[in-house]
Amino acid sequence: MSAAQLFLFGTRLWELVQGRLAKKYIQQYKPFPIPPKEARLFNPSDAVVSWLANVPHQDAVWNSDNTLLHLLAPFQEPDIGLVGCQIEPYVPKERQSASKITEWEVAALYSRLKQRGGNKAAYVADGSTNFIVSGATMLLRGVISREPDFQNELLLETFRGFLQTAGEDAFITRWVLFQHLRKDAQRSFKKWRIGMQILPEAYISAPLARDSRFVGQVAGFGRDFKLSLTCLFSEPGFRKLYWTTPYMARKMVQGLLNPFVSLLWYISLYMAYYQYPIIAVAFALYYLYGFIGSMFSFVKEFPYCGSKIWAAILSDMILLFSAFYFDENSASRPGFIGDRQI
């Protein structure tokens, strides 16, 4: 068997194992129940009060009157320091038409939907997330936000020597998960946990970019590249990261290697075609079958995107490499005044 064939079989086997694990984890997820009324009072000294905790992004859409109640539920457990939820794409009803929706919105919608299930799998696997608790709506325990170390490092965070003016949600996620691993002779850091409340009543919807700002928004959705570099090579470092959240560590390494592995996969397929064309064509048809199936599922759920499905196909290519060229400080989120995007 040639090296190209071994690589093709190896990547497929890896995908099967990872897919089965993720499906198993997703099925095991259980949301946090809402406490009875008499248990809904919190100690004021430990209340969830800060400018980060209870103020969502101005363009976030809460889909239920009980959203906040569901998001507060995980704080029943005293070591939960940060709570997040599932972020779903928001397409206003007046734009749910093939003639009105733009190709940029279709691409952004497809890219966002690919993240479904990731948070459940990561949370069940090791208590982490995939990879950031979204700042669209996050609740942070007040005692954390009042820590001087937290405040100083949030305001003075740098990346590649540049002061960061965006991405607070990535910093907060990393702080809550890993700050207890710091070595300080004068003090010890409490080990906090994340609470992911993933159920329909707690979903938050966020609008999609309607123009070329989609490229920056897609990278902003994940910000995986910067966070992965920081966690793997700086804070907390690969050894501590893998020791604390092994599933998250593997996913970060996989995310960094994806562009190179994809390139090698296509090269291996090309080489295998000239040596064993039947096997190569079988592999190509298998992946094409899965790809077409995902496109049909997407159009079935969002029929008004059918005429611009090509934009969803191209978004995969943009998403694969955009993280390497993304400058988070220059990204602009789509904002709205009434129904008008700004």
The pLDDT tens digits for 51-101 are 344 445 556 778 778 888 888 889 888 899 999 998 888 888 899 999 999
% of the chain with per-residue pLDDT over 90: 19
The closest alpha carbon to 227, from 166, 302, 311, 268, belongs to: 166
Kindly state whether residue 340 falls inside one of the protein's structural domains.
no
The reported pLDDT for the residue numbered 96 is: 92
Q: What is the dihedral of CA 30, 203, 65, 27, to 10 degrees?
A: -20
pLDDT digits (tens, 9 = 90+) for 160-206: 777 877 778 889 999 999 999 887 656 677 899 999 999 888 888 88
Kindly state whether residue 342 falls inside one of the protein's structural domains.
no
Kindly state whether residue 78 falls inside one of the protein's structural domains.
yes
Average pLDDT over residues 264-281: 85
Cα–Cα distance measured from residue 318 to residue 108, given in angstroms and rounded to the nearest whole number: 11
3-state helix, strand, coil in the chain (%, to 5): 60, 10, 30
Neighbours of 273 (CB within 10 A): 16
Domain count, the chain: 1
Kindly state whether residue 338 falls inside one of the protein's structural domains.
no
- Structural domain containing residue 285: 3-30+43-328
Kindly state whether residue 37 falls inside one of the protein's structural domains.
no
Kindly state whether residue 337 falls inside one of the protein's structural domains.
no
Q: Are 334 and 217 in contact (CB under 8 A)?
A: yes
pLDDT digits (tens, 9 = 90+) for 18-41: 888 888 888 889 888 886 655 554
Kindly state whether residue 22 falls inside one of the protein's structural domains.
yes
End-to-end CA distance of the chain: 56
